Amino acid sequence: MATEAHGEETGGLVFHPLDQFIVKPLFGEIGDPVSWYTITNVTLWMALAVLAIVALFVFGSRGRAIVPTRTQSIGEILYGFTYKMVEDVAGKDAIKFFPYIMTLFMFILFANYLGLLPMSFATTSHIAVTAVLALAVFLTVTIVGFVKNGTKFLGLFWVSSAPLALRPILAIIELISYFVRPVSHSIRLGGNIMAGHAVMKVFAGFAAVAAISPFAVLSITAIYGLEMLVAGVQAYVFAILTCVYLKDALHPSH
């Protein structure tokens, strides 16, 4: 319905860059109501992410070879990379959160890259998804902080190295920045992915004009390359920020 209305707009330039993010039921009409259990394109692309992860990490390593095959080697590199990141950034005692961070990292990584396939659906571009991920991290970090350190965790907000007069103000700033964390954490990921995909669609709209279509196609190619980088970097940043927050929770003293 919305698509039809957009088509009425002027000339050959038709921009509706956000239509690619519409959640629609996989079986049925676009206008059908979406209840919580409906199988939608979200379900499809998340399931594909799961399949890709299983293919890489379970079937890829089923040989348990001492000299790894290529697939097993990729899985081992990702494992080693994440393990080292958790160890270096969050500390040795954060290793027990390694499967948790690995889950988040791999889901975001695979969802980002699957979202870059043409005609696909980028699940991580939705604020609902990234907000749940960020809130999960936020809640984990807060609970772990209080369980591990008790009330000493509140020392995170009380900067003991600052002059006494400044400490209440700093405490307020620290508190605000602590609660802004999930917001920025989720919007950074969702916004980056959505922005990249929307920009590609905008350039695709320019390709309808013959005079600038070569430029548009070249631009799409270049931006696609950039988005390949962004997809990896955003997943990495999400994971490493999780590690940083976890380090704060485990060692709250500044």
Partner 1 sequence: MATEETEVAADAAHGAADAAHGAAEASGAGMPQLDFSTFGNQIFWLVVTLVVIHVVFTKIALPRIAGVLAERQGTITSDLAAAEELKQKAVDAEDAYKKALADARTEAQKIVADAKAEIQADLDAAQAKADAEIAAKTAESEKAITEIREGAADSAKEVAKDTVTAILSAMGFSADAKTVTSAVNDRAKG
Partner 2 sequence: MEGDIAQLGQFIGAGLAGIGSGAAAIGVGHVAGNFLAGALRNPSAAGGQTATLFIGIAFAEALGIFSFLIALLLMFAV
Pick the closest to residue 220 from 240, 233, 201 (CA basis): 201
Residue 182 C-beta: closest distance to partner 2, Å: 12
Per CB under 8 A, contacts with partner 2 among 60-99 are 85, 88-89
Question: Quick one: 46 or 181, whose CB is closer to partner 2?
Answer: 181
DSSP 87: I
Question: Quick one: 40 or 242, whose CB is closer to partner 1?
Answer: 40
Pick the closest to residue 50 from 109, 107, 108, 102 (CA basis): 107
Pick the closest to residue 124 from 176, 19, 196, 225 (CA basis): 196
Pick the closest to residue 185 from 249, 129, 118, 224 (CA basis): 129
Residue 201 C-beta: closest distance to partner 1, Å: 13
Binding mask 47-86 for partner 1 (x = CB under 8 A): x-xx--xx--xx--x--xxx-x---x--xx--xx------
162 C-beta neighbours (distance < 10 Å), count: 13
When asked if residue 119 is in the footprint of partner 1 (CB under 8 A), the reply is no
- The residue within the footprint of partner 2, chosen from 240, 246, 249, 250 (CB under 8 A), is 240
Helix intervals (H) in the chain: 2-7, 41-54, 70-85, 98-115, 127-149, 167-206, 213-250
When asked if residue 133 is in the footprint of partner 2 (CB under 8 A), the reply is no
Task: Copy the structure tokens of residue 88.
Answer: 């270096």
Q: Burial, 166: exposed, middle or buried (Cβ in 10 Å; 0-12, 13-18, 19+)? A: exposed
Q: Is 125 helix (H, G, I), strand (E, B) or coil?
A: helix
Question: Quick one: 53 or 134, whose CB is closer to partner 2?
Answer: 134
**Residues of this chain that bind partner 1 (CB under 8 A):** 1-2, 5-6, 8-10, 18-19, 21-23, 31, 33-38, 40, 42-43, 46-47, 49-50, 53-54, 57-58, 61, 64-66, 68, 72, 75-76, 79-80, 98-100, 102-104, 106-107, 123, 125-129, 132-133, 136, 190, 194
**Residues of this chain that bind partner 2 (CB under 8 A):** 18, 85, 88-89, 184, 187-188, 191-192, 194-195, 198, 233-234, 236-237, 240-241, 244
